[in-house]
Amino acid sequence: MKRIAAFVLASLALAAGSALAAYPERPIKLIVPWGAGGDTDVIYRAFQPFFQQHLGGTIVIANIGGASGTKGAKEAKDSPADGYTIFAVHDSIHSTYWTGVADVAYTDFEPICLVSSTPSILTASPKAPWKDFKSMVADAKKRPGQITVGATLGSTSHFFPALVEKAAGIKFKYVPYEGTAGRMNALLGSHVDLGESNLTQKGKADAGHIRFLAIATEKRSEEIPNVPTLKEEGVDVEYAVNRGLLAPKGTPAPVLEKLRSACGAAAKEPGFAKAMKLQGTLVHYLNAQEYTAFLKKNDQVNKDLAKELGLLKR
């Protein structure tokens, strides 16, 4: 009897090993928790062909927007941990959790790798009365709570201007929108005065459809050398949107190994770097171990920010 049991267990282990070795045998769903055409969607559509090439399977992007990105996050969290659902994430997974917008945390997932970082730019509508950051601050001090900012509440587009607001000693009025496309359309149409954007919108800025006021980097960007940093304007804020990939908690180690290997190889492709340059984004690859440490540190930073800004709900 013992020999039969051992044989059955060995057979099951062999079958499981063979199944994992064949992974992926069917298309993998990559959940992007925002609508098509937004920054995160565009970045992962550029990443997708390189990722699936190195993984040896098909990756299908599924845009699941709603509730500040938390609808897609919940679906990713609740998906089977079999390697056939992965999750495109950025810093909002921290901010939405600590502000109480979502009950999904980064610890509900297994890190695969970090892919990119996109520096944030404080951006004005074309009809805004100010030509530069200093004029905006002066106006905000005269009219506290009257300058409107388009933001996805609890997300990076909310935290970034909130940091600027606090550091500059001013007060904004926030108008909620779902995703980048909604916020950008509101800004272009002058339905709001300010918003967060990045170098993907350089063409619109060059055409005068929006106005870059200041970038949240340590040094000026070579792409927009005439735009000052926030630090130059006396506001000590650096900020970027960091994007990576996660898998549901409990995904088998051999599957994670394949995903992580393919993710690293794809992130190092020259074609991906070229695509990211066009998107005003930096390739910022971190392997699973490095990304785990990054997520832990970033989570604490966002918790502290939420508390400092009076937004902490947990």
Q: What percent of the chain has pLDDT over 70?
A: 93
142 found inside a domain: yes
- Does 110 share its domain with 30? yes
- Does 191 share its domain with 44? no
Among 197, 215, 233, residue at a domain's last position: 215
pLDDT at 16: 45
* Closest C-alpha among 43, 77, 97 to residue 247: 77
Helix axes 288-308, 156-168, angle to 10 degrees: 50
- Does 126 share its domain with 109? no
Contact 141, 110 (CB under 8 A): no
Residue 13 in this model has a pLDDT that exceeds 50: no
- What SS3 state is found at 9? helix
pLDDT at 10: 43
Strands 109-119 and 148-151, by their bridges, are: unpaired
Mean pLDDT, the chain, whole residue set: 92
**What is the C-alpha R_g of the chain?**
21
- Does 128 share its domain with 87? no
- Does 291 share its domain with 159? no
Residue 6 in this model has a pLDDT that exceeds 80: no
- Does 144 share its domain with 186? yes
pLDDT at 3: 55
pLDDT at 4: 54
Q: Which two tokens stand for residue 46?
A: 């550029």
222 found inside a domain: no
Sign of CA dihedral 287, 291, 292, 294: positive
Domain that holds residue 38: 25-118+241-308
pLDDT tens figures, 243-290: 999 999 999 999 999 999 999 999 999 999 999 988 889 999 999 999
Sign of CA dihedral 179, 146, 241, 92: negative
Strands 28-32 and 59-63, by their bridges, are: parallel
- Does 208 share its domain with 131? yes
- Does 142 share its domain with 67? no
Residue 17 in this model has a pLDDT that exceeds 90: no
53 found inside a domain: yes
168 found inside a domain: yes
198 found inside a domain: yes
Q: How many structural domains are present in the chain?
A: 2
227 found inside a domain: no
Length of the chain measured in residues: 314
Q: Domain holding 108: CATH number?
A: 3.40.190.150
Q: Domain holding 204: CATH number?
A: 3.40.190.10
pLDDT at 11: 43
pLDDT tens figures, 96-139: 999 998 899 999 999 999 999 999 999 999 999 999 999 999 99
For the chain, helix (H) and strand (E) counts, in that order, are 11, 11
Which distant-in-sequence residues (6+ apart) come within 8 Å of 50 by Cβ? 265, 266, 267, 269, 271, 272
pLDDT at 167: 95
- Does 149 share its domain with 172? yes
Sign of CA dihedral 144, 145, 148, 151: positive
The Cβ of residue 238 has, within 10 Å, a number of other Cβ atoms equal to 14
pLDDT tens figures, 280-312: 899 999 999 999 999 999 999 899 989 988 889
pLDDT tens figures, 22-79: 899 999 999 999 888 888 999 999 999 999 999 999 999 999 988 878 899 999 999 9
The more confidently predicted of residues 179 and 143 is 143
279 found inside a domain: yes
- Does 195 share its domain with 157? yes
- Does 266 share its domain with 286? yes
Contact 210, 201 (CB under 8 A): yes
232 found inside a domain: no
* Closest C-alpha among 238, 259, 266, 269 to residue 117: 238
- Does 45 share its domain with 97? yes
